[in-house]
Structure 1
């Protein structure tokens, strides 16, 4: 499908890292695994992964025997996902699609999952309606999102200081507020919430910078629009952020997340 004109920019930004974005998913594997366990997929089930990125979550769901359809707006990420998932069993179906306008009939899936994905949709209410629309009655929803007020908010705050683009309103971190989620999804799902902490380790501050500069599209985008002096200042700011997590054994980054569990009513 064609990406809506107003989503072409975000699709390009998220796709900048290509296959290297899979390393970002590796770094948040604790949270992604929590969401997959709470989805509890099984053989014969039809599962939709919304904003699949490079397919990390889709591959883990497929390993449990489910039939997985995985969508994303970023063609660069989907190309990497297809390559990385070439030997998945059952075979994963990848499609370019917009979380705000999913190209599927009502009640098409036994379960829907999105791991740090749908939270970045520009129109949160429309994306939430789509999650409910495509999920069958009694079907399961599992989302993992970042909590507001934690270390991830500081991370995005550093990026925002150097990004020309205005911050989204409402913030993607609003998905980490259970009251906001009940407002978005409560008409379609019975909801439960489980907080958690993701642990990510690096050898050094510079190791962390290189990881994100290669693998995280929004950071790659910011670097590309800065002068050399500003690029250096941006790296220094990110290094100061990561230095807060230094231990005797290197960096230990703790990031607070929330798993949203839903049962379609």
Structure 2
């Protein structure tokens, strides 16, 4: 029986849409904190004036704007209506204008080979069904086109952070870990048939004055942490904050906090 689709969003991704949208406009601060990695992915995409670019799981549109600034004609999608609203607001005045849509990475509403280049920065990795999402990326990219994806390392700082969060989560873990996209073998399995793939490692650098600063930063804008916190009782909230603060305290330097997060850039050329 076909899976139910509502407003273009597959049933198994609707809860994720609500979680990621919980930060709304404040999610742009999360993107700001990883902006060096977002720029890395956009530069490896190498958009040219007039290129038709698709940004998948755009969030508040940071990477879509990076591509548009280079002259590309950008279409950008996200499963969250709240994030798309924020992206449209933040993209006012960008030329060429960015065409934003609410849509699912596993169910892209575009014909085959619609785009010259396809981008996803720490976005498609959170799709509920990896192979379905990967097939959609390949389907909408023209032959000879380029793909650029940024994905968190499965063994780095983000993996440790997710483990801290997961210890306080009552819901079962996802069937497919988003961190698998940071494993070259997994990428080759998902995309190697359709793309010739090159990998490049990077490190995202984040700077805050204190553990309290970064806590406030992420509790406002990072939907998964915000929704988790809001669903806990007072004692559980205190325990979550204690563990998140302890995690961040390991990154203390003389000037405050310097957090280093390892990631992988996937560069694909469509066969």
Q: Indicate the TM-score class for this superposition, using the shorter chain for normalisation.
A: over 0.9
Q: CA deviation at 1:224?
A: 1.1
In structure 2, the residue matched to 1:21 is 27
Q: CA deviation at 1:5?
A: 2.4
In structure 1, the residue matched to 2:135 is 129
User: Where do 5+ consecutive residues of structure 2 fail to align?
Assistant: 1-6
Residue in structure 2 matching 1:198, options 194, 204, 220 = 204
Residue in structure 1 matching 2:163, options 150, 154, 157 = 157
Give CA deviations for 1:110-155 in whole Å, capped at 9, x if unaligned: 0000000000001000000000000000000000000111110011
For the pair 1:249 / 2:259, whether they are aligned, the reply is no
CA contact (8 A) 2:17 2:80 kept: yes
For the pair 1:56 / 2:62, whether they are aligned, the reply is yes
1: CA distance, partners of 2:133 / 2:8: 17
Give CA deviations for 1:72-124 in whole Å, capped at 9, x if unaligned: 00011001000000111000000000000100000000000000000000100
In structure 2, the residue matched to 1:12 is 18
With the length of structure 1 as denominator, give the TM-score of the two structures: 0.99
Following TM superposition, where does structure 1 have runs of at least 4 consecutive aligned residues deviating by more than 4 angstroms? none
Equivalent residues in 2 for 1:178-257, closer than 5 Å: 178-257=184-263
2: CA distance, partners of 1:86 / 1:37: 22
For the pair 1:85 / 2:55, whether they are aligned, the reply is no
1: CA distance, partners of 2:21 / 2:36: 23
Q: CA deviation at 1:197?
A: 0.5
With the length of structure 2 as denominator, give the TM-score of the two structures: 0.97
Equivalent residues in 2 for 1:103-142, closer than 5 Å: 103-142=109-148
SS at match of 1:89: coil
Give CA deviations for 1:13-68 in whole Å, capped at 9, x if unaligned: 00000010000001011111110000000111100000000000001110000000
SS at match of 1:54: coil
Q: CA deviation at 1:6?
A: 2.2
Residue in structure 2 matching 1:145, options 142, 151, 171 = 151
Equivalences, count: 265
2: CA distance, partners of 1:5 / 1:57: 26
RMSD between aligned residues? 0.7
SS at match of 1:87: coil
Q: CA deviation at 1:3?
A: 2.0
User: Where do 5+ consecutive residues of structure 1 fail to align?
Assistant: none
2: CA distance, partners of 1:13 / 1:36: 26
In structure 2, the residue matched to 1:173 is 179
Deviates more, 1:143-152 or 1:165-174: 165-174
In structure 2, the residue matched to 1:102 is 108
